[in-house]
Structure formats: structure tokens, C-alpha cells
């Protein structure tokens, strides 16, 4: 089948009210924790994207009965921490790094062997960041010579808790080790160098599992406990909202409300960075939903200025930087990002891929090993290769709001991994985007 491409006509504004799909990070964890809990967990707002469906299919393959998804509604009949069954073949995680890294910790504590694999992109992504500390806990995991998937996880290992200072701020590594800690003897203690998204910690507590917060950045969990079923209401994904936050900020005449967005303080760096650049973002109707802070976000066009992005905000906006790079391209002056080497090992090398794409549109973008400098200017039209990266594809789609001619974005099929229905919702808001093959 020919690749899926986007064609986006220039100009326009974003207006109205939208609710983007559910949070991807929370959707993954809802299936995982629901499967390991005692009893029936009900979930609303589940993201029916390919990444989260890969997690759901993996647990079905291990004997968990899951009803749905049906318009975001899912019911997970938990089997308890020791009720999973050996799958008949490898578990395919598709394009989902979250699935593979978190599942590595969870499966290290099982009595049976498993193999985790994925698509061409996922099998290039580094996995030693989880397999090395898991080995210190007593896990046996085989990977490729490069430390990538497929991962062969040997069951029946005796795990023990460890004290582990994370070398880099990574919610995926933290969550992987906490999940392994459920099966370990003693205490698993993790210290992170900077705050990262805390959905795993919140969900542990929501499922009745004791977690000790010893300091702002140190968490301790004692193994061999029990998870109890819960009811979960998953908010709209702030990472998916980011494309519309940026689009409405850069497009004159825009006035857009994004409904029921998760504004967890460990995820809201995109709002903080855009506000530092001069964005007009108003937080309305702030409340709690299923233990997660949510709000409606009203964003209106405002002139943006280049800034030096505070490194403290980098882990709090790590997935939103492709969209933020578009904001920087439309800002007056120079935007400098440092401390973001993690962007080079995402679904693509997002620093280089975004620099190449912006350069193709006439923007001076200077990549560095751990960041980028972007000089704001006028955006031309042209052809962009997304390299199969969903966030790159959607970021350049909203860039067309300020381009002087048509943008054609190649290799966009993976948008469905995180944002099914993006094109329809973007059209509703006022973006002149269409799909083609």
C-alpha cells in the first residue's frame, strides 16, 4: 500500500471547542494496572490509538479478559499480580516505546518466558536503560548486540529491590522499575534527577498500593503487595492538545477551547514554555478527574518571542518539542533548547528531523547534540519527510497555518498511534488538511 501523506493548504485560523482523544500515557497504564488488579476495572476516555491497542492486545494474549474498547469505554477483568498466562508467541508492541519499556519490568517478575518485539522504528530504540537496572534486580533479559529489541525475558527469576538513581530523567524507566518492584523482595527505591510525569505513582495509589514519597524526587515501593480494581476517567491528552495550542498561538484570528485536558504538573511544561514565549493560554474550570488534574484550555493568537528554554522544563515537555519547534519558528528572535538529548532517541531523531524539516521551509535551525537553536522567520511551503514520526507529522501540519504555500508531509500513517481522527478534528477547528496516498 502506498504511504499515507498529508497535504495542508496555507493560512487559516483555529476556532471553536474541541476535545482531543484520551491521554496515551494514562491509557497504557490503565490497562496494565487493571490487568494486575483484583476485580474489574472500568475505564472511560481510553485512547483507541495503535500504541495503546498494542498494550491491550498483549494482555489479552496473556489471558486477561478485556471488554471494549467502545467509544473510549473499557472493562478490564483483573487476574491479580500472579494470574497472567504465557502467551503463545511474541508480544508485538508495534511502535510503542512506552509499552515495551513498561512491560519489560512487569514481565521480568512472571513465572514464564516472553519475547517483546515491535516495528522497525521501535526495534532501533535503546532498551539498555531498562534492561541494565532490571538485571541488577535479578532479571534475565536478552537483547540484540546493540541493546535493542526483540527482548527475550526469562521467567521464574527471583527479583530483589534496589536503590537506583536514574541517570536521565525518564518516566518510562522509572515506571518500568516500579512495576518490577511489585514482584521484588524488599524495597525498590528510585531517585530521579528531575521531575518526570507521575502517572504511575498516582495510579499505584489509586489502585490501593502503598508508595512512599521520601522526597520530591525519591519514591520507594515494597514488593509482594496487592492491587485493587478502580474506576478511571482518562483526561484528554496534553501531548495531542499541544498541536492545537501551538496552532492557535501562531495563527492570527484564532480563539480555541480545548476541553477536559490533563494538566498534571509533571506534564504541563508545554503550557509554561508557550507562556514564556508570550502565548495567551487561559486555564478554565480546573478540577480533578480520577485523581488527575484536568482543565479546559482557552488559547488565542498572540505574537510569540524567542526564549532560552529553562532546562528544568525540558522533562515536563519532552514529547511536545516538535510542536514547540514550530512555535519557535514563528516567534520573533532566537529560541535555544539545551539539555534535551533524549529527543534523539524517540520515534525518530526529533532534533535532526525537525531541523531538516524547518530548513526545508526556509527557517534557520541549528541542531546540537542536546538541543537546537531556531531563528524565527517566514515559513515557506514545500515537502517534508516525517520519517514515520507521528508528532513530527502533526507539528508540520499546524505549521501550514503560517506557511506561504502548500505543505506536503510524507509518511504520516503513524499518526494513528497516538491521535486517531487527527485530520477530522483538525479540519473541524479550521486547518485545511487532507490525506492522500
**Last residue in a domain, options 218, 233, 248:** 233
Same domain membership, residue 297 and residue 201:
no
**How much is the average pLDDT of 374-395?**
96
Q: For the full predicted model, state whether its pTM sits above 0.85.
A: yes
In a 3-state reduction of DSSP, which class is residue 260?
A: strand
Same domain membership, residue 180 and residue 110:
yes
Range of the domain at 109: 24-233
Same domain membership, residue 342 and residue 209:
no
Same domain membership, residue 11 and residue 85:
no
What is the per-residue pLDDT for 53? 97
Q: In what order do the strands lie in the sheet with 382-385?
A: 382-385, 407-410, 5-8, 433-436
Residue 436 has pLDDT above 90, yes or no: no
For residue 176, what are the contacts with CB-CB under 8 A and spacing of at least 6? 101, 102, 104, 105, 130, 134
Phi and psi at residue 102, to the nearest 5°: -70, -40
The separation between the first and the last C-alpha atoms of the chain, rounded to the nearest angstrom, is 8
Q: Which helix (H) or strand (E) holds 57?
A: helix 50-61
What is the per-residue pLDDT for 27? 97
CB-CB contact of 163 with 122 (8 Å): no
Same domain membership, residue 11 and residue 48:
no
Convert the pLDDT of each residue in 314-345 to its tens digit. 999 999 999 999 999 999 999 999 999 999 98
Residue 117's pLDDT band, with cuts at 50, 70 and 90, is very high
CB-CB contact of 26 with 235 (8 Å): yes
Same domain membership, residue 222 and residue 263:
no
Convert the pLDDT of each residue in 67-100 to its tens digit. 999 999 999 999 999 999 999 999 999 999 999 9
319 is catalytic: yes
Q: What is the 8-class DSSP label of residue 2?
A: P
Same domain membership, residue 140 and residue 247:
no
What is the per-residue pLDDT for 6? 97
**Last residue in a domain, options 199, 233, 267:** 233
CB-CB contact of 378 with 336 (8 Å): no
What is the per-residue pLDDT for 240? 97
Same domain membership, residue 385 and residue 266:
yes
**Last residue in a domain, options 196, 215, 233:** 233
What is the per-residue pLDDT for 270? 98
Percent of the chain exceeding pLDDT 90 equals: 95
Structural domains of the chain, count: 2
Question: What is the rounded average pLDDT for all residues in the chain?
Answer: 96
Domain holding 51: CATH number? Answer: 3.65.10.10
* Active-site residue, selected from the candidate residues 272, 319, 385, 389: 319
What is the per-residue pLDDT for 238? 97
Residue 2 has pLDDT above 80, yes or no: no
Q: How many residues does the chain have?
A: 437
In a 3-state reduction of DSSP, which class is residue 37?
A: coil
What is the per-residue pLDDT for 178? 98
Convert the pLDDT of each residue in 233-257 to its tens digit. 999 999 999 999 999 999 999 999 9
Residue 9's pLDDT band, with cuts at 50, 70 and 90, is very high
Percent of the chain exceeding pLDDT 70 equals: 100
Same domain membership, residue 206 and residue 285:
no
Same domain membership, residue 184 and residue 313:
no
Residue 216's pLDDT band, with cuts at 50, 70 and 90, is confident
Same domain membership, residue 32 and residue 13:
no
Same domain membership, residue 263 and residue 203:
no
Residue 103's pLDDT band, with cuts at 50, 70 and 90, is very high
Residue 290 has pLDDT above 80, yes or no: no
For residue 125, what are the contacts with CB-CB under 8 A and spacing of at least 6? 97, 100, 148, 149, 345, 346, 347
Residue 160's pLDDT band, with cuts at 50, 70 and 90, is very high
Amino acid at each position: 500500500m502506498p504511504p499515507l501523506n498529508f497535504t495542508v493548504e496555507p493560512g487559516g485560523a483555529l476556532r471553536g471547542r474541541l476535545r482531543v482523544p484520551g491521554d496515551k500515557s494514562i491509557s497504557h497504564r490503565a490497562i496494565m494496572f487493571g490487568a494486575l488488579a483484583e476485580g474489574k476495572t472500568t475505564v472511560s476516555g481510553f485512547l483507541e490509538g495503535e500504541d495503546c491497542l498494542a498494550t491491550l492486545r498483549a494482555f489479552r494474549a496473556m489471558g486477561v479478559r478485556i471488554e471494549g474498547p467502545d467509544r473510549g469505554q473499557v472493562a478490564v477483568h483483573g487476574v491479580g499480580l500472579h494470574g497472567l498466562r504465557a502467551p503463545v508467541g511474541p508480544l508485538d508492541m508495534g511502535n510503542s516505546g512506552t509499552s515495551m519499556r513498561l512491560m519489560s519490568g512487569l514481565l521480568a517478575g512472571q513465572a514464564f518466558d516472553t519475547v517483546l518485539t515491535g516495528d522497525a522504528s521501535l526495534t532501533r530504540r535503546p532498551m539498555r536503560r531498562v534492561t541494565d537496572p532490571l538485571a541488577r534486580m535479578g532479571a534475565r533479559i536478552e537483547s540484540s548486540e546493540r541493546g535493542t529489541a526483540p527482548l527475550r525475558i526469562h521467567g521464574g527469576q527471583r527479583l530483589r529491590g534496589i536503590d537506583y538513581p536514574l541517570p536521565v530523567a525518564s518516566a518510562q524507566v522509572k515506571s518500568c522499575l516500579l512495576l518490577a518492584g511489585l514482584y521484588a523482595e524488599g524495597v525498590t527505591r528510585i531517585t530521579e534527577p528531575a521531575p518526570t510525569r507521575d502517572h504511575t505513582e498516582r495510579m499505584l495509589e489509586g489502585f490501593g498500593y502503598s508508595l512512599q514519597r521520601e522526597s520530591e524526587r525519591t519514591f520507594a515501593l515494597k514488593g509482594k503487595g496487592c492491587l485493587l480494581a478502580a474506576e478511571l476517567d482518562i483526561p484528554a491528552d496534553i501531548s495531542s492538545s499541544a498541536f492545537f495550542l501551538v496552532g492557535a498561538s501562531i495563527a492570527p484570528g484564532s480563539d480555541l477551547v480545548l476541553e477536559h485536558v490533563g494538566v498534571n504538573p509533571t506534564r504541563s511544561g508545554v503550557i509554561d514554555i508557550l507562556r514564556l514565549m508570550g502565548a495567551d493560554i487561559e486555564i478554565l474550570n480546573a478540577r480533578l478527574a480520577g485523581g488527575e488534574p484536568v482543565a479546559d484550555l482557552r488559547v488565542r493568537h498572540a505574537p510569540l518571542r524567542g526564549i532560552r528554554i529553562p532546562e528544568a522544563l525540558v522533562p515536563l515537555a519532552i514529547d511536545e518539542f516538535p510542536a514547540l519547534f514550530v512555535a519557535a519558528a514563528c516567534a520573533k528572535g532566537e529560541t535555544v533548547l539545551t539539555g534535551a538529548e533524549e529527543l534523539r532517541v524517540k520515534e525518530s531523531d526529533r532534533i535532526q528531523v525537525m531541523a531538516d524539516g524547518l530548513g526545508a521551509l526556509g527557517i534557520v535551525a541549528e541542531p546540537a547534540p542536546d538541543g537546537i537553536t531556531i531563528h524565527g522567520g517566514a515559513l515557506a511551503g514545500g515537502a517534508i519527510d516525517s520519517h514515520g514520526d507521528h508528532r513530527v507529522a502533526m507539528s508540520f501540519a499546524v505549521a501550514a497555518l503560517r506557511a506561504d504555500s502548500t505543505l506536503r508531509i510524507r509518511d504520516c500513517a503513524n499518526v494513528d498511534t497516538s491521535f486517531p481522527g487527527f485530520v477530522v478534528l483538525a479540519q473541524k477547528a479550521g486547518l485545511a488538511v487532507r490525506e492522500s496516498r
